[in-house]
Amino acid sequence: MLFGFGGLICSIGQIILNICKERGFDTATSGTIVSILLIGISAFLTGLNLFNKIGKFAGAGSLIPITGFANSIVSPAMEYKSEGYVMGVGGKMFTVAGPVLVFGISASILVGIIYLIFNTQNVTLV
Amino acid sequence: MDINWATVFDWTILLKCFVTAGIICVIGQILIDKTKLTPARILVIFVTTGAILGGLGVYQYLVDFAGAGATVPLTGFGYNLAKGAIEAVQQMGLVGAFVGGVKAAAGGIAAAVFFGYLAALISKPKMKKQ
Amino acid sequence: MKKVGNQSISFDNPPTILECASIVGPKEAQGPLAKYFDQTLDDEFWGEKTWEKAESKIIKETVNTVISKSGVPSDKIDCMFAGDLLNQCISSSFGLRELNIPFFGVFGACSTFVESMSLGAICAESFAENVLCATSSHFCSAEKQFRFPLELGNQRPPSSQWTVTGSGATILTKSGTGPYITHITPGKIVDMGIKDGNNMGAAMAPAFADTLIAHFEDTGRNPSYYNAIISGDLGYIGKEIVIDILKSKGYNIKSNYNDCGVLIFDKNAQDTHSGGSGCACCGTVFSGYFFKQLKERKIKKMLLIATGALMNSTTSQQGESIPGIAHAISIEV
């Protein structure tokens, strides 16, 4: 079941990617469009109380694709609405997803620095 | 619309995408079932692994093979961040390490924040029906 | 009253459980005990804007129900004991703030109902004529505080339990015709180093065993003395663990033991995994179902032991273990 869902979500992503490429977008922009659309759809499904029903039997199939990331942002935002729109929704949005951004971005910075160290001859330093 | 629908729905590409994505998710499910790791920690492991494999150049092979099957899972998000950092370092040196990752993921992060806030505004959390 | 044995107390003039009331949420209303509760709700908000406000309303209305059912006017109630799972027990304090009754807030996690009744019984046997004891819990407010946002698409492990949405309240009175609280055995904190917050039954089982054995050693009784030995919310998993622990210590409770968390939900139809939990699990199942069995003399001697896990979200994140506690009261008609 989770195999099917994970596969399905990514296949939808692939179809969107193919359509973008056909329309002339380059790979990077196409990838961004796929992310934005899948995130938007997941946010919408979470807001309609539907995503958690899917997650119950899809498990990792809905968690691991970028849909899980979006759901983990919208769900605490919805939950803490009662604590206000600034500190509640705004402040609590990243309680579950925050670590993903912290570690992902930090890892990318480290990757960049390590790449620089091993490739100083190819790169303009500053 | 002058879209070549045969290319869009190329079954060989979709199949490779489907299977790769499924395998990556199964790995995630094994972590959920067999360890005490919370969803947040599992997502962190996936994104960091993707960044490391992307930095080593290894993840590129998976992306070439499976397309969205490798980029849509959160490992792909990490790969995207790392690839962006490397490309920016090639262009601007050390500053690029800081700029590149976020720049590559900008669309996704902005979408997450914006749609997240919108969805929260228009929704009402309900009791789990399970 | 006097102390018996190491930690129990026996009452020379046992207080009477005069009346009980219970209100439950929609999921409990679809469970096997639905008809025993005074009121069932259609949704988890009950007209309020937040779950916290809803939980306060539930405990408030349950207390109002028990007061009107008992015929004791609220100004004749000498004091009240109440508590819940929320930080600083706000459900109880906000829900009961208009009652004008001297208030003792207590925290025993899911053992709060029996803890309040224990303290209430001590008061009723001494200075008080009438004492009110109440507790509440709410699935949504508990998930928000302890676990994950409701809309998160995560899966619940099979050992997890479902926090009961509801409230149970009781009025104890100094002189009445029973059912009587004859003994109380307050529990000691028992921490066996269990860290898995998804398996509360295992974390609390050692405390249950500890209090039960203390009760039997102090009173000189054995399990067959009681028609029913009932735990608060050990759930299916905790129930099995506790039967094994006690068997290894020479106590066989298998024939007359059950658990409120197991009774309140239909495991298969309602997908509640290891069963119900929360302060209101024991509170509502006793106030609704067992009180009726006692009044109708279908159960004549009952040992009610509610268990609690004394942790919070900070201690879990800091990698701490989960200390458990169990309080016991002996009830006879």
For chain A, the structural domain boundaries read 2-95, 96-126
> Where is the domain boundary, C173, C201, C229?
C173
Which parts of A80-122 fold into alpha helices (H)? Answer: 91-92, 98-118
Q: Look at B104 and B8; give whichever has higher pLDDT.
A: B104
Residues of C in contact with A74 (CB under 8 A): 151
Examine the fold and report which residue of C114, C142, C173 is the final residue of a domain before the chain moves on: C173
Contact (CB<8Å) A96/C52: no
Looking at the fold, whether C165 and C299 belong to one and the same domain comes out as: no
Residue B130 CA to residue B127 CA, distance in Å, equals: 9
From start to end of chain A, where are the E strands? none
Judge whether A74 is closer than 8 Å to chain C, CB to CB. Answer: yes
pLDDT at A124: 58
Per-residue pLDDT of C154-209, as tens digits, reads 888 888 999 999 999 999 999 999 899 999 999 999 999 998 888 899 999 999 99
Domain extent at residue C203: 180-332
CA distance B91 to chain C (A): 40
Judged by a CB distance cut-off of 8 A, whether residue A104 touches chain B is yes
Q: Which of C43, C198, C271 sits opposite B130 (nearest CB)?
A: C271
Q: Are residues C168 and C272 in the same domain?
A: no
Residues of chain C predicted below pLDDT 50: none
Identify whether residues C17 and C160 lie together within a single domain. yes
* Residue B116: HSE in the Cβ half-sphere, 13 Å Cα cutoff: 32
Strands (E), chain C: 2-4, 8-10, 16-24, 39-40, 79-84, 103-105, 130-137, 162-163, 166-173, 180-185, 228-231, 257-259, 276-277, 301-309, 324-332
Q: What is the 3-state secondary structure (H, E, C) of A69-82?
A: HHHHHHHHHHHHHH
Side-chain-side CA neighbours of C313 within 13 Å: the count stands at 10
Q: Pick from C130, C157, C173: which residue ends a domain?
A: C173
Identify the bridge partners of residue C332 per DSSP, sorted by sequence position: C180, C301
Q: Which residues contact B90 (CB under 8 A, 6 or more apart)?
A: A122, A123, B96
**What's the whole-number mean pLDDT along residues B40-45?**
89
Question: Which chains have 3 or more CB–CB distances shorter than 8 Å to chain A?
Answer: B, C
A64 to chain B, closest Cα gap in Å = 5
CA A37 – CA A60 distance, rounded (Å): 20
Q: Are residues C26 and C166 in the same domain?
A: yes
The total number of structural domains in chain C stands at: 2
Residue A114: list chain B partners with CB under 8 A.
Answer: 55
Do C230 and C168 sit in the same domain of this protein? no
State the pLDDT at residue A126: 56
SS3 category, C40: strand
Angle made by CA atoms C254, C255, C257, in degrees to the nearest 5? 65
Whether residue C103 is found in the same domain as residue C122: yes
Q: Judge if C110 and C187 occupy the same domain.
A: no
Kindly indicate the confidence band of residue B125, based on its pLDDT and cuts at 50, 70 and 90: low
pLDDT band at A21 (very low <50, low <70, confident <90, very high): confident
Residues 6+ apart with CB under 8 A from C327: C108, C111, C114, C115, C118, C184, C185, C186, C187, C211, C305, C306
| Closest in A58, A82, A96 to C152, CB measured | A96
Q: C149 and C297 share a domain?
A: no
A-facing residues of B in 82-121 (CB < 8 A) are 82, 84-86, 88-90, 92-98, 100-102, 104-109, 111-113, 115-121
Q: What is the CATH number of the domain that holds C244?
A: 3.40.47.40
Q: Which of B13, B86, B107 sits opposite A112 (nearest CB)?
A: B86
Note whether C218 and C238 are same-domain residues: yes
What stretches of B1-130 show up as alpha helix (H) in DSSP?
Answer: 5-8, 11-34, 39-55, 59-66, 68-71, 74-92, 94-122
Tell the burial category of C6 from Cβ atoms under 10 Å away from its Cβ (0-12, 13-18, 19+).
exposed
The predicted pLDDT at position A27 comes to 83
Contact indicator for C329, C184 with CB cutoff of 8 Å:
yes
- Spatial separation of the C-alpha atoms in residues C151 and A43, rounded to whole Å: 11
Across the interface, of C43, C44, C154, the residue whose CB is closest to B39 is: C154
Locate the chain C residue with the closest alpha carbon to B33: C157
pLDDT of res. B130? 41
> In this structure, are residues C169 and C133 in contact, taking their beta carbons and an 8 Å threshold?
yes
Closest CA to C152 of B22, A100, B40: B40
Contacts of C3 (CB under 8 A, 6+ apart): C9
Q: Is 90 exceeded by the pLDDT of residue B122? A: no
pLDDT on residue B1? 59
Whether B129 has a pLDDT exceeding 50, the answer reads: no
The alpha-carbon radius of gyration of chain C (Å, integer) is 18
The separation between the first and the last C-alpha atoms of chain A, rounded to the nearest angstrom, is: 50
| In contact, B21 and B15? CB cutoff 8 Å | no
Kindly state whether residues C71 and C114 are assigned to the same domain: yes
Residue A31 touches partner C, C-beta closer than 8 Å: no
